[in-house]
Chains A and B, each alone.
Chain A
Amino acid sequence: GAGVSQSPRYKVAKRGQDVALRCDPISGHVSLFWYQQALGQGPEFLTYFQNEAQLDKSGLPSDRFFAERPEGSVSTLKIQRTQQEDSAVYLCASSSNPMGQGSYEQYFGPGTRLTVT
């Protein structure tokens, strides 16, 4: 079946603009994760959803970052009043297992590269 998809693949925003990044996880996957990946670094955890519930948002860097998954499938990561330090690749991943129940592998989307000018 189809893997995880993300849109847009590339986004250029002027400083101060709001952006919305979309993630379509693998159908039926209960867990959905957002990560931020800076150049030359590994992905850094932002937030976690189990179905529609946002159970962990400890990695969101500021209150300008907001994520939702209202029907337990598609998720949107919104960044308000973008700053240059927000420039990064934003990755979405999904998993069939809930977090906290043993091991789980994650299936990643291709990411959205955000550049704030």
Chain B
Amino acid sequence: SQKIEQNSEALNIQEGKTATLTCNYTNYSPAYLQWYRQDPGRGPVFLLLIRENEKEKRKERLKVTFDTTLKQSLFHITASQPADSATYLCVTQGSGGYNKLIFGAGTRLAVHP
């Protein structure tokens, strides 16, 4: 079955450093990969989408890579701030048909001043 793996342990980093979160998927080849941010008591918020034919996508301090050979996406936040502390969800999506979003369990990021 389709499976997404994200590091279940929280990532603790110092303010100003780059945070790197990893997402691995198995048993399928998604056409798109998305990252969402979720704060406690709130719904997920869309951050970035990358297509299978794109290697890298950037938006302000965020960067996402998509390696279809390794079946892996990396999510980077540069110059991290305490306000970046949240859970980040990796989401895959197929193409065509009823291409439901499949969510990972998320990785909690804590940025310390």
Contacts and interface: CB of A to CB of B under 8 A. Distances in A.
Interface string B70-113: 00000000000000000001010101111111111110000000
Interface string B2-41: 0010001000000000000000000000011010000001
B41 A110 contact: yes
A61 to B, nearest CB: 15
Contacts, number: 60
A66 interface: no
A91 B43 CA distance: 7
Nearest to B34: A105
Interface of A: 4, 33, 35, 40-45, 48, 55-56, 91, 93, 99-100, 102-111
B66 to A, nearest CB: 13
A93 B44 CA distance: 9
A110 B42 contact: yes
Nearest to A56: B98
A105 B46 contact: yes
B46 A107 contact: yes
Contact of B43 (A40, A45, A56, A111): A111
Nearest to B96: A100
A110 B40 CA distance: 10
Contact of B46 (A4, A45, A56, A106): A106
A103 B49 contact: yes
B97 A100 contact: yes
Contacts of B101: 33, 45, 106
